[in-house]
Amino acid sequence: MFAQGRRVDPPRLIYTPHDTMRPKKIPARFVFVLLVGTLLASVAAEYVRPPPGRVILTGNSQPPSHPQQVHVSLVGANRMRVSWVTDAKHGHSVVDYGRASGNYTSSATGEHTSYRYFLYSSGKIHHVTIGPLDPGTVYYYRCAMVGDEFTLKTPPAALPLELALAGDLGQTEWTASTLAHVSKTDYDVLLVPGDLAYADTQQPLWDTFGRFVQEHASRRPWMVTEGNHEVEAGMALPGSPAPFVAYTTRWRMPHEESGSPSPLYYSFEVAGGAVHVVMLGSYAGYNSTSEQYGWLARDLARVDRRATPWLVVLLHAPWYNTNAAHAGEGEAMRKAMERLLFDARVDVVFSGHVHAYERFTRVYNDEANPCGPVHITIGDGGNREGLAFDFQKNHKLARLSLMREASFGHGRLSVVNATAARWAWHRNDDADSTIRDELWLESLSANGACRRANPADDSWSDEL
């Protein structure tokens, strides 16, 4: 059932110009640093993906004042944040938008920021919130009053809703294949459970990643949480960059709107509140005295399952995993927080980190439980480190693992109505995308046996 990994040469670098046939050259010293870093990573990596999987460096030949790395995200019920970067140190943090091409009937002004990472200095990073917007509507927009026109589509006001999921993306040929498959069929929101650019302190890779995904991320909202490759902690010296500085500065998510004290975890709702999505931080404090734990308890307590029949959680390091890769790394967080998710009757938990696909039965506290969430690992978006082939047949959790495969791909959660949703995992087969796993889920809010009369009642039995 499982393909066997084999060692291959380190991935070659592909340079792709952005929006032009005359590419601007990337400095030779930058390519040399990338090649050395890739060689070292290849030697240290336990798993190496099968070819092709070359790293793609997407360059920029736009004028310095023109927007690049454009992406959109959700902010509240009827607003979206438009983010982009300009190389110029000046420019307008303005978005003009409307329902017809070239006819911008509304305008919004935001702010810009930047950051330094040792010798690297970012361009101006702009964030503008637009709205109120009508649901299920295509809008045309232009950033900074110059450059290209983009289009975006807002999510629907009610179910049905289509969520696409892809973790551990990177910027390789396999990433390009995954995103092409995601976009072949319409979806409303893309959820990413961590590990975006695989910059790993090489800050220009954040820029190439932003240009690489712009075609997709400018059209539909991307909602992301951090992975280990976003940490990028500097040395413990005065003036060293703080952890997550590139991630939190570039990919701003609505943590303040959800009452979260940290950009590393937050929540949001879609489809008129029918689906509540919680984005947890595997690399923030999570024990019972942590800010994240307290925020999560408050966030889940506010969810009315009569109005919000679906509860979805994303995090990076999986709590359930039968692969030798990253074995046990999510266990401490599971022990600290799993009861909160179980008591709230979370329907499904998505994670990344392990570069493969795996789906478990409904589970709680290492045992099958019809009122626990389904745990799904979807860390197979296209990263440069390779696939995790070593699933352990005799693992203590193997009896709970219903499907596992080391292939690149993406997932789709089609929430049909208040009680039913269809999950499908699509494996990349080059030009095609093959459904290798699918099932129908019933919302736990519709399951009378799992409904709690009083969520604060700790006498609820785990044995169902």
Tens digits of residue pLDDT in 130-183? 999 999 999 999 999 999 999 999 999 999 999 999 999 999 999 999 999 999
Model pTM?
A: 0.88
Q: Please identify every residue annotated as catalytic.
A: 326
Q: Which of 396, 233, 229, 212 is nearest to 321 (CA)?
A: 396
What is residue 38's predicted lDDT score, i.e. its pLDDT?
Answer: 40
Q: Which of 305, 297, 239 is nearest to 274 (CA)?
A: 305
CB atoms within 10 A of CB 249: 18
CB atoms within 10 A of CB 113: 13
Residues 6 or more apart whose Cβ sits within 8 Å of residue 47 = 5, 325, 355, 385, 386, 387, 388, 389, 390
Three-state SS for 229?
helix
Q: Convert the pLDDT of each residue in 51-81 to its tens digit.
A: 557 999 999 988 999 999 999 999 999 999 9
Per the document, the length of the chain is 464
Q: How far apart are alpha carbons 62 and 214 in whole angstroms? A: 14
What proportion of the chain, given as a percentage, has pLDDT over 70? 85
Q: Give the β-pairing of 374-378 and 348-351.
A: parallel
Greatest distance between any 2 Cα atoms in the chain: 68
Q: What is the mean pLDDT of the chain?
A: 88
What is residue 430's predicted lDDT score, i.e. its pLDDT?
Answer: 67
What is residue 61's predicted lDDT score, i.e. its pLDDT?
Answer: 87
**pLDDT confidence of 239, banded at 50, 70, 90?**
confident
What proportion of the chain, given as a percentage, has pLDDT over 90? 80
Q: How far apart are alpha carbons 228 and 198 in whole angstroms? A: 9
Q: Which of 21, 145, 153, 42 is nearest to 93 (CA)?
A: 145
* Sheet order of strands, 94-98 included: 106-109, 94-98, 138-143, 149-153
User: Residue 184 pLDDT more than 60?
Assistant: yes
Q: How far apart are alpha carbons 187 and 53 in whole angstroms? A: 25
**pLDDT confidence of 456, banded at 50, 70, 90?**
very low
Q: Convert the pLDDT of each residue in 403-438 to its tens digit.
A: 999 999 999 999 999 999 999 999 987 678 899 999
* Sheet order of strands, 420-429 included: 222-224, 189-192, 161-165, 409-415, 420-429, 432-442
